[in-house]
Chain A
Amino acid sequence: NAGVTQTPKFQVLKTGQSMTLQCAQDMNHEYMSWYRQDPGMGLRLIHYSVGAGITDQGEVPNGYNVSRSTTEDFPLRLLSAAPSQTSVYFCASSYSMPRGQNEKLFFGSGTQLSVL
């Protein structure tokens, strides 16, 4: 079972470069989301999607774009990377929008991004 697959696992960028972090799930989950994890802080929600064609902003959306053209894929785009975006990025999905009862969030293994 593949679950949630994130690529790449590691990436180094120069300031101003652009790149896309890939996230794919094979569980037919409607809900997908992107988090960033910084030292000494909890995960913070960047963007999320409740289905194909529907996206919304989370807690820290600035500097990031997302799209959801298919149920399976939810890429995160950095248009002009900044050192402040150095972080570990996690993609997570669940069958439906997590409402704390039965839905379980499945996480990818993360992408370590460094912006120099």
Chain B
Amino acid sequence: AQTVTQSQPEMSVQEAETVTLSCTYDTSESNYYLFWYKQPPSRQMILVIRQEAYKQQNATENRFSVNFQKAAKSFSLKISDSQLGDTAMYFCAFMRGSNYQLIWGAGTKLIIKP
């Protein structure tokens, strides 16, 4: 069975600092997709970034980037120049290429301090 593990239940950093959130996953499939979602206090789930497993290049979206280590089954999210609005729960998710169902990690609560 596929699993997604986020080992950091909570993190806090000062505004403008860089922070990295960890995610590891377990799968025997070769075709899959990985995602980071943000859930602010409003409870809305917002897609932050996605990565296709077959792509070697790490995905980036403005201040957000990933470090995708396929052999190690690791998919960490780096947030540069953190802002107060980045305060939220962050979820890592895995999608199998065979049935396209999302498997979610338990989340990391990120607090950006002024």
| Residues of A that sit less than 8 Å from B by CB | 40-45, 58-59, 88, 90, 92, 97-101, 104-105, 107, 109-110
For the complex, give the distance between the alpha carbons of A32 and B100 in Å.
13
| Residues of B that sit less than 8 Å from A by CB | 4, 32-33, 35, 42-47, 50, 52, 91, 93, 95, 97, 100-107
Known: A42-B105, A43-B45, A100-B95. 18 other contacts (CB 8 A): A42-B104, A45-B101, A45-B102, A58-B101, A88-B43, A90-B43, A97-B100, A98-B95, A98-B100, A100-B32, A100-B33, A100-B100, A101-B33, A105-B45, A107-B44, A107-B46, A109-B42, A109-B44
Given A42-B91, A43-B91, A100-B33, residue A109 in contact with residue B106 (CB < 8 A):
no
Please name all residues of chain A whose beta carbon is closer than 8 Å to the beta carbon of B52 when the two chains form the complex.
100-101
**5 residue pairs from A and B, CB less than 8 Å apart:** A42-B91, A42-B105, A99-B33, A104-B47, A107-B46
Minimum distance in angstroms from A35 CB to a CB of chain B? 8
B103 interface neighbour in A42, A100, A109, Cβ under 8 Å: A42
Minimum distance in angstroms from A23 CB to a CB of chain B? 14
**CB-based contact B100/A99 at 8 Å:** yes
Closest to B31 in A: A100
**CB-based contact B106/A44 at 8 Å:** no
For the complex, give the distance between the alpha carbons of A59 and B4 in Å.
15
Please name all residues of chain B whose beta carbon is closer than 8 Å to the beta carbon of A90 when the two chains form the complex.
43, 45
**CB-based contact B43/A109 at 8 Å:** yes
**CB-based contact A44/B104 at 8 Å:** yes
Please name all residues of chain B whose beta carbon is closer than 8 Å to the beta carbon of A45 when the two chains form the complex.
101-102
Closest 5 CB pairs between A and B? A42-B104, A100-B33, A107-B45, A110-B43, A43-B104
Given A100-B97, A101-B52, residue A43 in contact with residue B102 (CB < 8 A):
yes
Closest to A107 in B: B45
